[in-house]
C-alpha cells in the first residue's frame, strides 16, 4: 500500500510538472505570436505611410511627403529600391540636390538600367548633379567676394568723414528702463574721423578710447 501511494504521488508530481511546462510553452508561444503581430501591424503602418508619401509627392506636396518618407526610413527594416527612387525624386523637388544625388545613385546601383524608374532616375540624377555643381560654384564665388572693407577708402579732399558710430553727434545715447544715458563717443572727436581712422574702423582695427 505504501509503495502504491508513493507511485500515485510520483505520477501526480510528474503530471503537474508536465502541465506546468506545457503552460509555460503555451505562454511563450502566445508572447511570440503577440510580438509577431506587433511587427506585422508596424509594417502595415509603415507601408501605409509610404503609400501616403508617394501620393503627396505626386500631388506636389513635397514638404509633407518628405516628413512621411523620413518616418518610413526611420522605421523600416531595409530600404526597398523604389523608396530610394521616391526619396531621391522628392529631395530634388525640395532643392536638396546632394541628398537627391545620393538616393538616386543608390536606386541605380540597385536596379541598374532595367528598373521601373531607371530611366527617370538617370534623367533626374543628371539634373541634380548639375544643380549641385552650381551650388558649389556659387559657394566658392561667395568666399571670393571682394568687399569694401578689404580696401582703403578715399575720403576726399577734407581727409575726414562723419563718424558712423555716433552719426556725427560725438555722443552715444542709450535707452534704459531709467531713461536715456549719454556717453561721449569712444571713437571720434567732434563727430569726425580721419580717413585713416575711418578705414581702421571698417576693418575692425580702430580701438575705442579708454
Residues 6+ apart with CB under 8 A from 40: none
189-193: average pLDDT: 88
More confident residue, 110 or 1: 110
Return the DSSP state at 171.
E
In the listed set 143, 162, 180, which residue is the last one of a domain according to the structure?
143
Q: Which residues contact 135 (CB under 8 A, 6 or more apart)?
A: 97
pLDDT, tens only, 91-116:
999 999 999 999 998 988 888 888 89
pLDDT of residue 7: 64
Tens of pLDDT, residues 52-72: 999 999 999 999 999 999 999
191, 197 Cβ separation under 8 angstroms: no
Cα separation, 116 vs 112, in Å, equals: 10
> DSSP 3-state assignment of 55?
helix
Does the residue 2 lie in any domain?
A: no
In a domain, 103, yes or no: yes
Please give the tally of structural domains in the chain.
2
Amino acid at each position: 500500500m505504501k509503495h502504491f501511494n508513493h507511485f500515485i504521488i510520483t505520477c501526480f508530481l510528474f503530471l503537474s510538472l508536465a502541465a506546468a511546462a506545457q503552460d509555460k510553452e503555451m505562454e511563450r508561444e502566445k508572447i511570440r505570436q503577440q510580438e509577431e503581430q506587433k511587427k506585422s501591424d508596424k509594417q502595415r503602418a509603415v507601408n501605409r505611410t509610404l503609400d501616403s508619401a508617394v501620393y503627396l509627392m505626386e500631388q506636389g506636396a513635397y514638404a509633407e511627403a518628405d516628413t512621411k518618407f523620413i518616418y518610413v526610413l526611420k522605421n523600416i527594416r531595409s530600404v526597398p529600391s523604389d523608396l530610394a527612387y521616391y526619396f531621391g525624386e522628392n529631395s530634388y523637388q525640395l532643392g536638396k540636390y546632394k541628398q537627391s544625388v545620393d538616393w538616386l545613385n543608390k536606386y541605380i546601383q540597385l536596379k541598374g538600367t532595367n528598373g521601373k524608374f531607371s530611366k527617370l532616375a538617370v534623367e533626374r540624377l543628371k539634373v541634380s548633379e548639375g544643380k549641385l555643381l552650381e551650388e558649389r560654384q556659387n559657394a566658392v564665388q561667395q568666399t571670393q567676394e571682394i568687399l569694401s572693407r578689404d580696401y582703403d577708402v578715399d575720403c576726399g579732399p577734407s581727409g575726414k568723414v562723419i563718424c558712423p558710430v555716433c552719426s556725427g553727434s560725438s555722443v552715444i545715447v542709450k535707452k534704459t528702463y531709467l531713461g536715456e544715458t549719454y556717453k561721449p563717443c569712444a571713437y571720434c572727436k567732434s563727430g569726425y574721423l580721419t580717413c585713416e581712422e575711418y578705414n581702421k574702423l571698417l576693418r575692425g582695427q580702430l580701438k575705442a578710447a579708454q
